[in-house]
A and B are shown apart, each in its own frame.
Chain A
Amino acid sequence: MVSNLFAIFFGAILINNFVLTRFLGICPFLGVSKKIETAVGMSLAVIFVMTIASLATWGIQTYLLMPFNMLYLRTISFILVIAVLVQFVEMVMLKATPTLYQALGVYLPLITTNCAVLGVTLLNLNENYTLVQSLMHGFAGGVGFGLAIVVFAGIRERLDFAPIPKALEGFPIALIVAGLLSIAFSGFQGLL
């Protein structure tokens, strides 16, 4: 049981990293990764939303969709859950840290359509995870997203001072770096 959770945790962070291996949630990955500070804030928000979304969707899945044989409703009901959670996070964040709220800007409400969040809930379903496993998968998925975006933000902060050919300045070099990071993470394949 514990070793299984361990496998899910490191599997979701390193081997099947949501951003760098599964290519989900690319929009905030590229959008909010200019500064480490905002990247950390974004990943905390995503970790929270992913974990709670895993919990809530597991409940909906087990006690509502399965008994009434309504699996076809899972996409819309999961999106509903995620949207509500994001709204909630937005309110809390505006109250608690207005600066971070300003820095994240439009990317905060965009977590609603962050496919990594919907992805984690649907993967939980496909893998027939139990509640604890779902929670762990959601949490680890968020941590993996956070790891990718913070590493990427760190590289991008240094890129500002690097001598880059003019044609590659700004976004092009960021995309190249993202590709290299993804290749680097493919080295974790077969770790477990």
Chain B
Amino acid sequence: MQLDMRSVIIALASLGTLGLIFGAGLAIAAKKFAVPTDPLYDEVLGALPGVNCGGCGYPGCAAYAAAVARGEVGINLCPVGGNDLLVNLAKIMKLEPAATLERQVATPYCDGGAQEAGTRFLYAGILDCVVANAMSGGDKDCQYGCLGYGSCVKMCVFGAISMDENRIPVVNEAKCTACGMCVKGCPKHIFALRPSSMQVHIRCRSHDKGKDVRKKCSVGCIACGLCVRACPVKAITMENNLAVIDYTLCTNCGLCIEKCPMKTIHGPLSAQSTK
């Protein structure tokens, strides 16, 4: 096939010229209609992590930076940046450096996977927790428990969550930035943020009575109260059939872990927490 060089050149030249003319026009327009941006905004935006996770509650880092630059919101909303960011932002905004924050990690408060917790019916819909939850609360016997379809894995923009073979989410604490998307997104509210140094935590969300929990799940909190009595600093209380740890009191001693008959409490001493 003979290539007609002339038409190729004409096509290139005409489109190129058009592009140049339009580009020049836009450049002039950009100068003419330039909107001066707040230099503060640019600095704040530069300091933010730029991952656009939405953890601060704004659509992205740019929106949050604009709000900070206008002085409308505090500088402590970004969960990703941590202490360094707080210090930087305080410097940019000329504020007093805030008290240092303890690093937090997201933790799944349910350990009743496919082996431990039974199901009520055979679910054959879309493999997504939000969809499954719309189906009368999902197929798990325990209506508080993790549905195990891994919506949190999809939500986590940092790739910190994975599902284990038992269909329970596992958080890679090194990758977790505590942006809180899983906390907001999980239809069963399985996730909560916990100070990363406080490793003792009670992996259950069930407010069912102990007898009912026993029927539905082999690792759920049955509200027996052994941990409440075992705790030397009285950090554990029983709230509505569920043991809750007060992290302002907890000393990470781990006595409750040994006492728990259902192995619901995880911590530095339990083998499961390292999985």
Contacts and interface: CB of A to CB of B under 8 A. Distances in A.
B26 A73 contact: no
Contacts, number: 43
A88 interface: yes
B25 A70 contact: no
A27 interface: no
Query: Chain A interface residue count: which class?
Result: 10 to 19
Determine the main DSSP class of A at the interface with B: helix
A77 B35 contact: no
Contacts of A76: 15
A7 interface: no
A87 B25 CA distance: 11
Contact of B19 (A60, A69, A80, A88): A80
Interface string A129-165: 0000000000000000000000000000000000000
Contacts of A80: 15, 18-19, 22
A77 B15 contact: yes
Given A64-B14, A84-B25, A84-B26, A70 B7 contact: yes
B29 A88 contact: yes
A69 B10 CA distance: 10
A91 B29 CA distance: 8
A60 B18 CA distance: 9
B255 interface: no
B30 interface: yes
B73 interface: no
A168 interface: no
B18 A77 contact: yes
A41 B29 CA distance: 21
25 contacts: A60-B18, A64-B14, A64-B18, A68-B10, A68-B14, A69-B7, A70-B10, A70-B14, A73-B14, A73-B15, A76-B15, A77-B15, A77-B18, A80-B19, A80-B22, A81-B22, A84-B25, A84-B26, A88-B26, A91-B29, A92-B29, A92-B33, A94-B35, A95-B33, A98-B35
Which 4 interchain pairs have the tightest Cβ spacing?
A84-B22, A91-B33, A95-B33, A68-B10
Interface of B: 7, 10-11, 14-15, 18-19, 22, 25-26, 29-30, 33-35
Given A80-B15, A80-B22, 7 more contacts: A69-B7, A70-B7, A70-B14, A76-B15, A80-B18, A91-B26, A98-B35
